[in-house]
Structure 1
Amino acid sequence: MAFAKLGAVVLDCPDPLALAEFYAAVVGGTPTPADEGWVDLAGHGGTPLAFQEAPGFVPPKWPAPDGSQQFHLDLTVEDMDAAEKQALALGATVLDAADRDRNWRVYADPAGHPFCLCAC
């Protein structure tokens, strides 16, 4: 029997408010500063997201045969090309979108965390 439930996914980053604003534009919600160095993304559907200031933050490398990406977010979208265009306009960068026929593409958010846009 489980004894806990997932409270939030927390992303370390150099600028919590800026990264919360990026994800608010992607998944909806409102960045809500909670404590110094911490911002919650409130009012969107799905698992709660929070952003924590991490001095000396080093983004994960993807792909990296000698290291791990640690985790990534899968974001479902109805129109891959339109979603890609919007994500790039918000500051995302392409990590792997070479195979345009598959149902997912990999990007990095402005702090360097990998995420996938996945066709629903």
Structure 2
Amino acid sequence: MALAKLGAVVLDCPDPRALAGFYAELLGGTVEGDGDWADLKVPGGGSLSFQAAPGYAPPKWPAPDASQQLHLDLAVSDLEAAEEGVLALGARPLDTEDRSRTWRVYADPAGHPFCLCAC
């Protein structure tokens, strides 16, 4: 028997509403909240939350001497189209040169790494 169930994944960032808006454009859903906290309610019942972090420093990727903190793997049916879309939303490529792989790594506008994975 589990002692708990997952409520949400929370990302620290400088501007919770703006980063929630980035992920809303990427994943769909609705953004709730202002100020120091925002929630993205995604289709299917999941959620991502975003919390203001004074002095926020983005993770480094790849960096064996620094933690990437976490990353999201996002399943996509068309890797090329998804890449074009996330770049238009403000994502930054981190590891996209090997086009033979079924995944590519980007940073969101606050610097969190995430992967687009072909499904």
Q: Same fold (TM over 0.5)?
A: yes
User: Corresponding residue for 1:92?
Assistant: 91
Aligned pairs (5 A) from 1:28-39: 28-33=28-33, 36-39=35-38
**TM-score when normalising by structure 2:** 0.95
Q: Deviations over 1:65-103 (max 9, x none)?
A: 101111100000000000000000000000001110111
Aligned length: 119
Aligned-partner SS, 1:118: strand
Task: For 2:45 and 2:116, locate their aligned partners in 1 and report how far apart those are by CA, in whole Å.
Answer: 15
The question of whether the paired residues in 2 share the 8 Å contact of 1:9 and 1:47 is answered with no
Aligned-partner SS, 1:74: strand
Which runs of structure 1 show a deviation greater than 6 angstroms over 4 or more consecutive aligned residues? Answer: none
Aligned pairs (5 A) from 1:1-120: 1-33=1-33, 36-45=35-44, 47-120=46-119
Q: Which runs of 5+ in 2 are unaligned?
A: none
Identical residues among aligned pairs (%): 70
> Structure 1's 103 and 43: CA in aligned 2 closer, same or farther, altered over 3 A?
closer
The question of whether the paired residues in 1 share the 8 Å contact of 2:37 and 2:50 is answered with yes
Q: Deviations over 1:18-76 (max 9, x none)?
A: 0000000000011110x631000024236310110101000000000101111100000
Name the amino acid aligned to 2:9.
Answer: V
